[in-house]
Structure 1
Amino acid sequence: MSDSRVHSTKEFDAFGPWIDEVHTVEDLPRLYRHAGIDPTAYRLVLKVPRDIERRNANPDMHLYDYLIALDEETLTVMRRLDDTFGTVRLPLDRVAAIQDSVRLLSGRLTVHAVDGSETTVTYNGSAAAPIRNLIRLLRRRYLPQTPAATTDAVPAESNLDRVDTGLLTDYRRLMESEPGLRLLNAAQRRLVVPASRLERLYRRFWPITLHASIAVTDDREIQIIHRRDWFTPSGDDLSLARTVLPRARIIEVTAHAHERYLGVHVVTVRAGAARLQFPADAGPVTDALLASFPGPARRAHAK
């Protein structure tokens, strides 16, 4: 039996939906073994499996869609393209935002760069812990300083709908792990009113929900806990998402009226060429988000 066959069989025997940390060259997936990655030289190396059931896999397949390597200066993401792979290397000082979301077994991590590019990793939502660790280490690299600890009350359950308990739970965990954060705003979910009269009649029977969100901040970042989709035609208590915005990358924040729904603004955060948008109730919610960016040059409000 050839050496490649031995490694392939070992890789197949260990294959599952979980994301594994890689410590040696021998543990690298066969596809990436000659990519020049020495795990001992990196802070963290993860291999992310293909989204297939084990009964559909075999030892001759390349079984890992991504190899992720983080060192002190760069995030490297290798993505399988059939029998080869593409590579993205993102300097950590060019990170514009981080977005992570899980809906049931569908996980998705997107790292935005200041040049407007996006690097996305999809993964099994049951294996989210290694991705959370990656985000923690990634943020530690571009946020070396530690903010002073503060205390802030958890938003009362009465502020959000009962089905948004998951958002509150994630908020509590975040505040416990990062005591320097303070609450910006907790926005309730609500039904929205279409601007179009025709759609308004239609939505009387099939309404659209703008989902709840919780925004927190310190002197380094703004973090928003929300659902994967901001608008859905039915309830969404199954997804959980978090967007992290480094303050040092933000150059402008604006708000304009939503084109489709009355009483809703779209807050746009610009970090270099990257643009991230967040719908919010017109009024106090929008004002709270805009006020978190001091200076007239950094915010403009819709008329």
Structure 2
Amino acid sequence: MANAPQAGGGTGTVPPPHSARSDEYDAFGPWIDEVRTADQIPRLYRDYLVDFAAARTILKIPRDIERRKANPGMDLYDNLVILTAEELTILTRAEAAYTAVTLALGDIVAMRTSVNLLAGRLDLHSRSAGPVVVRFNSSSRERIDALVDQIRDRAWRGERSAGCAQGGDPGWRGERPGRGCDRAADPDRTEAALAPLAESDLVLVNQTRRDLQADPAARVVAAQARRNISVKAGARAKFMSWLRPLRLTALAVVESGEQVIIRSRASGIAQRRMADYSLAETFIFAPAATGVTADPLVTYHDVTRVSITFASSAITFETVSGCGVQRALAERLGPRRA
């Protein structure tokens, strides 16, 4: 089992002439398909040894190309993703070859999914390397969500579930006793925490409510409503701000066992006059975080960039300076207390 990303690759197979038909070409579309048999593996990756008996899930992720621009001579899949009980392997197309990265599930410390219209992205952070990025068409987002849930169940919830079965309370870093696995969220406190988002970002509120219903141990600990922002100085910057006014986007912070979940928009700062249809979910295994830093942005008034750091990478969010979101993240993901 690999404990860190491993470089690897293959040459694939020689593509047929453009005029030839193929099952791969006939089945090609923007959707993510599950691979169940060897003949369903895209030809580029067929020299990679796949253990179907050990695999929990195998997904093939298509290229971002219109069907009318594809032809049977192309390698039509950007990624082959293989999940087993212990590892996640991602094969990535690189011209006529591919690269391979294998992550031990126990090394995955954070995951982020984001969609903006049809553009989807999955970022995987591990203890020993920077993020591995997989791009996908959001029409098949449910398959990526299911993959993320499987990783969370296997890598992050196992010890917590064992503690619950024994009547234990895993708590947070051994602190704050009384937060048991079966503790249900207080509906009144949840609604109070989500109140700042209720009018402007109802889609975030509804998504958070659905997740709280599915996970009785989860609760909202902080939220930030969207807010108009202004630049600090400079005639040109102020003119651009007048021409294209900006806003800080909304987010909600949820805790569940040893996980922190941040629901937000794809970008922390967006144009005020444009509708924002994006959604992002960031899942963090709290014991793996090494710290939280807050750096005020020199360009904008009262905006701070919060960085959640891990051994080999970081995830950032833009927040209102000194807000409850900053405090909640620092408390739950900051350095261990003695």
Give the structure 1 partner of residue 285 of structure 2.
246
User: 1:284 deviation in Å?
Assistant: 3.2
Give the structure 2 partner of residue 209 of structure 1.
247
Taking the aligned partners of 1:267 and 1:152, their CA distance within structure 2 comes to 28
Give the structure 2 partner of residue 25 of structure 1.
38
RMSD between aligned residues:
2.2
141-150 or 47-56: bigger deviation: 141-150
Which of 186, 196, 218 lines up with 2:233 in the alignment?
196
Is 2:119 the counterpart of 1:106?
yes
Is the contact between residue 184 and residue 289 of structure 1 (CA under 8 Å) also seen in structure 2? no
Residue pairs, 1:48-63, within 5 angstroms: 48-63=61-76
Question: What amino acid does structure 1 have at the position aligned with 2:63?
Answer: R
90-99 or 256-265: bigger deviation: 256-265
Q: What's the CA shift string for 1:4-62, capped at 9, x where partnerless?
A: 97x96111121111111111112111111120113332111100011112222222221
Is the contact between residue 16 and residue 54 of structure 1 (CA under 8 Å) also seen in structure 2? yes
Where is the strand percentage greater, Structure 1 or Structure 2?
Answer: 1
Give the structure 1 partner of residue 186 of structure 2.
152
Is 2:202 the counterpart of 1:165?
yes
Taking the aligned partners of 1:253 and 1:225, their CA distance within structure 2 comes to 18
Question: What amino acid does structure 2 have at the position aligned with 1:289?
Answer: L
User: 1:295 deviation in Å?
Assistant: 5.9
Give the structure 2 partner of residue 301 of structure 1.
none
Is the contact between residue 263 and residue 281 of structure 2 (CA under 8 Å) also seen in structure 1? yes
Give the share of equivalent positions with the same residue, in percent. 32
Question: What amino acid does structure 2 have at the position aligned with 1:187?
Answer: Q
Is the contact between residue 62 and residue 78 of structure 2 (CA under 8 Å) also seen in structure 1? yes
Give the structure 2 partner of residue 275 of structure 1.
314
Give the structure 1 partner of residue 264 of structure 2.
226
Q: What's the CA shift string for 1:255-299, capped at 9, x where partnerless?
A: 23222222122222111121111121123322232233476769x
Call closer, same or farther: CA 1:161–1:168 in 2, change over 3 Å.
closer
Call closer, same or farther: CA 1:86–1:101 in 2, change over 3 Å.
same
Call closer, same or farther: CA 1:195–1:142 in 2, change over 3 Å.
same
Call closer, same or farther: CA 1:201–1:61 in 2, change over 3 Å.
closer
Is 2:293 the counterpart of 1:260?
no
279-288 or 135-144: bigger deviation: 279-288
User: 1:101 deviation in Å?
Assistant: 0.4
Is the contact between residue 112 and residue 118 of structure 1 (CA under 8 Å) also seen in structure 2? yes
Normalised to the residue count of structure 2, the TM-score between the two structures is 0.81
Which of 27, 35, 47 lines up with 2:48 in the alignment?
35
Secondary structure, counterpart of 2:201 in structure 1? helix
Call closer, same or farther: CA 1:161–1:236 in 2, change over 3 Å.
farther
Which of 70, 80, 88 lines up with 2:83 in the alignment?
70
User: 1:203 deviation in Å?
Assistant: 2.0
Secondary structure, counterpart of 2:191 in structure 1? coil
Taking the aligned partners of 1:229 and 1:221, their CA distance within structure 2 comes to 22
Q: What's the CA shift string for 1:183-207, capped at 9, x where partnerless?
A: 1112100011222253345424432
Secondary structure, counterpart of 1:194 in structure 2? coil
Residue pairs, 1:291-302, within 5 angstroms: 291-293=331-333
Is the contact between residue 290 and residue 335 of structure 2 (CA under 8 Å) also seen in structure 1? no
Is the contact between residue 255 and residue 266 of structure 1 (CA under 8 Å) also seen in structure 2? yes
Give the structure 1 partner of residue 23 of structure 2.
10
254-263 or 39-48: bigger deviation: 254-263
Secondary structure, counterpart of 2:65 in structure 1? coil
Which of 277, 280, 289 lines up with 2:329 in the alignment?
289
Which of 141, 144, 152 lines up with 1:139 in the alignment?
152
User: How many residues get paired?
Assistant: 294
User: 1:149 deviation in Å?
Assistant: 4.0
Taking the aligned partners of 1:119 and 1:92, their CA distance within structure 2 comes to 13
Secondary structure, counterpart of 1:79 in structure 2? strand
Question: What amino acid does structure 2 have at the position aligned with 1:24?
Answer: T
Question: What amino acid does structure 1 have at the position aligned with 2:295?
Answer: H
Normalised to the residue count of structure 1, the TM-score between the two structures is 0.89
167-176 or 150-159: bigger deviation: 150-159
User: 1:236 deviation in Å?
Assistant: 4.2
Call closer, same or farther: CA 1:254–1:48 in 2, change over 3 Å.
same
147-156 or 223-232: bigger deviation: 147-156
Is the contact between residue 68 and residue 78 of structure 1 (CA under 8 Å) also seen in structure 2? yes
Taking the aligned partners of 1:296 and 1:193, their CA distance within structure 2 comes to 36
Which structure 1 residue ranges, 5 or more long, are not aligned? 299-303
User: 1:65 deviation in Å?
Assistant: 0.8
Is 2:128 the counterpart of 1:128?
no
